[in-house]
Amino acid sequence: GLDRIGATDNFFEIGGHSLLATQIVSRLRAAFGLEVGLRAFFENPTVAEQSRYLQQAGAGVGAAQIALDPVLDTIQEEFVI
């Protein structure tokens, strides 16, 4: 229900909960074909942390990194990291 969030705002501290986290993970899968585990989301609850996590998860994977680049570009356009 917030108009804007920052890259370092903690998802859970601003009102997020496990059901919303599950929906986000599902939307990442549907929109970008990314398999982000729910646990990883809980361990990286900010946009900045998720971006770093996704970069590390895709590092050295070749084609997976190429598929990840548009996602990271979108995140970086939307938020100042």
pLDDT at 10 over 90: yes
**Hey, what amino acid is at 62?**
G
d(CA 50, CA 68): 12
The tens digit of pLDDT for each residue in 24-70 reads: 888 878 877 777 889 988 999 998 898 888 777 765 444 455 466 66
**Res 4: pLDDT:** 81
d(CA 40, CA 33): 16
**Res 17: pLDDT:** 93
Place of tokens 């942390």: 49
**Res 2: pLDDT:** 73
pLDDT at 74 over 80: no
d(CA 56, CA 15): 27
**Res 67: pLDDT:** 60
- The residues, ordered by sequence, that sit 6+ positions from 13 with a Cβ below 8 Å of its Cβ are 45
pLDDT at 12 over 60: yes
Beta strands of the chain (E only): which ranges?
none
